[in-house]
Chains A and B, each alone.
Chain A
Amino acid sequence: QKEVEQNSGPLSVPEGAIASLNCTYSDRGSQSFFWYRQYSGKSPELIMSIYSNGDKEDGRFTAQLNKASQYVSLLIRDSQPSDSATYLCAVNLLTGGGNKLTFGTGTQLKVEL
């Protein structure tokens, strides 16, 4: 089992729809969870962090965490073509050190006009 797992996609949604991106992780004691967005040829950009069970909202983005199910998700409301990118789930695994993050392989999102 991979330590951090995501569907690679592509996930295609129409403009204005809600995009739902999912991630599972293996280490039950993990405490910190992050979503990064990466445009093709660019560096990862932090968009959300979440540390407690439940929902955390920031503009059009909502991160959801369920530690019992070892599951974290990202919802993007009113999706725009500019949201088309690869979304990386990152976890500070209990077995890691310091702020070291383990990344999933990313889900490619395509927002279609």
Chain B
Amino acid sequence: NAGVMQNPRHLVRRRGQEARLRCSPMKGHSHVYWYRQLPEEGLKFMVYLQKENIIDESGMPKERFSAEFPKEGPSILRIQQVVRGDSAAYFCASSPSYQQGGNSPLHFGNGTRLTVT
């Protein structure tokens, strides 16, 4: 499957635990974007990364949330000390680098549904 791969598909955490969401971009894509979608709401941008570099984290909450895209392996969105308000669908998308394919659309993974109990 050459598409954007996210796992797990569903994640249940108790309040105060940590959540780790993983994303492998489409083959040939070097840029990863994380979006959050609350029930009945639109997609909200969180963070944009390339390998070993955060390009834009303007949508990330200031506390408890972090993201990385290491040289090897998938991108990770990490939420520490989860609260009920973190329950949402988290989507990862990828694109070629802007220089390779400026104005390219984003291709989305199937998402991770996080439920905090």
Contacts and interface: CB of A to CB of B under 8 A. Distances in A.
B42 A92 contact: no
Contacts of B98: 98-99
B95 A99 contact: yes
Q: Is the interface of A mostly helix, strand, loop or mixed?
A: loop
A96 B103 CA distance: 11
B11 interface: no
Interface residues of B, number: 27
A51 B56 contact: no
Given A43-B91, A43-B108, A88-B42, A100 B103 contact: no
Interface of B: 31, 33, 35, 41-45, 48, 55-56, 91, 95-98, 101-111
Interface of A: 31-32, 34, 36, 42-46, 49, 51, 88, 90, 92, 96-106
